[in-house]
Structure 1
């Protein structure tokens, strides 16, 4: 699903960026993906998704069995 329509950034791209490129803040999303730097209407949803991914990543880092 598209999160940032202006820059054609999907939820999958954001998830991958958080997991693989270790994006931890909105500035990182803007720099790496270009998300949320044009009209800004997607910023709230992008931030929520990023936080959810960070929470999931932290949970899997603390419980290696769960990540498998």
Structure 2
């Protein structure tokens, strides 16, 4: 379902990013959710909170740094 009508951000988009370990502020910057009218902010924050408390962190992108690969934390 579409959570943010202004930016056409779905619940799946938010959940995917939240499961990758991103917080609401990061998701807001990445997807633009809750940056226009703000009506979706409560729903978006709730989705992020539910994912953070019930799912392990997984990698959204396969990126590497000088410290080594970034990936899922177990």
Please indicate the TM-score interval, normalised by the length of the shorter structure. Answer: 0.7 to 0.9
Matched, 1:53 2:48: no
Name the one with the larger strand percent.
2
Larger Rg computed on CA atoms:
2
Counterparts of 1:1-68 in structure 2, within 5 Å, are 1-20=1-20, 22-24=21-23, 26-58=24-56
For structure 1, which runs of at least 5 residues remain unmatched after alignment?
Answer: 59-63
TM-score by length of 2: 0.70
Q: CA RMSD in A?
A: 1.4
TM-score by length of 1: 0.76
